[in-house]
Structure 1
Amino acid sequence: MINLTGKQDADPLGRAREMVESGVYDIGQIEDARTLIEELEIRVAELEMRTVARTAELSEANRLLERANRLLEAEKAQRQVIEAELRRNKMELQEFAFVASHDLQEPLRKVGAFGKLLYRELENSLEGDAKDYLNRMIGAAGRMEELLRDLLQFSRINTRANPFKNTDLNEVLIDTLNDLKVLIKKSGCRIEVEAAGESSLLPAIEADEPQMRLLFQNLISNAIKYQPKDREPFIKICGETDGRACRIHVQDNGIGFDESCAEQIFRPFQRLHGRSGEYSGTGMGLAVCKRIVERHKGTITARSVPGLGSVFTVELPLKQAYFANTENTEGSGLE
């Protein structure tokens, strides 16, 4: 309403209350009251319209939220189905690799054994390229048998694994060095084991002990294998811990590699130095190491300078429970 000053009445309800309480009315006041009532009715209607509109907006928002929740639940269920299928396919593939590599070893052994027998029987009577062909066949059978043996070992990491238990890595390392004593002596390799800081050499962790032995064996034998002919092999092994995880470094003075290949070397059948025969192997050793470390919820990385050597770093939790709920979300805190 417009009052005597010509301004919009900001509080028509208060104005009406004042008129009623005064108890004195005239024609002008009655007209004012009627105007006030009309304004109140308009404002009530506007409020009702806004309430209806707001209620409709909230209903639409709730409908969209419910639809989004249904879509999320459906996506979650679909993801669970896909993950279960992937796990099943992975296990089936591992089982196939195990069975295939296991069953193929016997005929390959026979091919190699009969090839060697044939070579001994006919060595003096073979002419031309026949001896070379037979040697190639025996060599190929031997390499294939070695490849299948490594593939079988790779597949067993998950399919034929042992339960985790308290494992003293110092004892595992000592046993591994004893197992490799002949190779170490033959290569003339010098191995130094030391602790980082005031801790003991290596801690005890929850682990699959045979797999820890295989991990050390592959890292050490790799360091011995990839050495220049004119250099005395040297390997330094040290460890550190922060109370939640341990970090193990295996450093060598070997031929090294280009760090752009630091991830490639952990893939199955990857060989950076070709198959010329100078460095034997199937390219499965580091892939086995990575699979073992991942099963223990750890990480393995490598740094290297070509011609100067490499450092392989393995980080493992002391207790598997430390990483049960934080896998792939945060590090151990070791820097």
Structure 2
Amino acid sequence: MIINQDKKEIRGTIFDVQGLSVHDGPGCRTLIFLNGCTLNCFWCSNPEGISRKPVPMYYHSRCISCNNCINECPEGAIKREEGELFINRKICLTCENKSCVSVCYTDGLKLSGYEITTEKLLNIIQRDRQFWGSEGGITLSGGEPLMQIDFAEEILRRSYESYIHTAIETCGNIPFTNLQRVIPYLDWIFFDLKHFDSEKHKEGTNADNLLIIENAKQLAKEFNGRIIFRLPLIPQFNDSMENINSIISFLKEVGRNEINILPLHHLGREKYKIINREYTGLNYLIPSIEKMQKVKQIFTEAGIICHLGGETPF
């Protein structure tokens, strides 16, 4: 987040604005993806949004081997090895101007995000509003949208004050004060519960779950709107009865009774190639329909409202 001192403009970094979304809140919505995440989940479908700073994404099929980017890079982070372009990501992160992208005329290199002012984004939201119908709104996603708290708060506040339905999708691994700042401007919150075993959680996301669980407890007390907890169901990682029962006990403890189970998918695996990262999600199978139904039955029999995938009644 950057504040322009001359115009007092709040700027944020986003990597996509998706109109006509129907799976992330009621009605037809505008889904806004903010850069930066405090977790690093092995199954992430938006790995290009994990870095707070936009990074160059390399599209092999568009490259014409002109070497403009190699000659332009001030850090010497780009090389060609056996005909393939190689980017040293550690060096690349220290570069501020990313001028290599500006000299790539075939879009073989593109940045994984761009800076935008709140005014410009709010104009996009108002433009989209005419297509929502009576039940639409906005949902901030990511990445973790509350990493850019000043930017997120301003977008949510001004949207909420314009009678726009607002929601966020959060991993919960942020200071609770960030959540408190946006609670007054939120109608719904989607909150991930990836694993209740802290060590397993760390293995899968690169962070333990202590702050996440504490934030979920406090949020359930302070937020009067709708909280939909989400479980990304991954066989052999978090589909055990022990983990499912832990989630059920937690939901009853905090007085919330709604969960959305999202099946693991591998649709984002190609994105890992363009940022030179290995995708390890293929080590895990996509849960079968029978498995999903079985887990839903367990939650339902425990008195928890359970939605599978995109069937959530929005």
TM-score range, shorter chain: under 0.3
Higher relative contact order (CA 8 A, sep 6+): 2
Between Structure 1 and Structure 2, which shows a larger proportion of strand residues? Answer: 2
TM-score when normalising by structure 1: 0.22
Between Structure 1 and Structure 2, which shows a larger proportion of helix residues? Answer: 1
Kindly name which structure, 1 or 2, has the bigger radius of gyration based on alpha carbons. Answer: 1
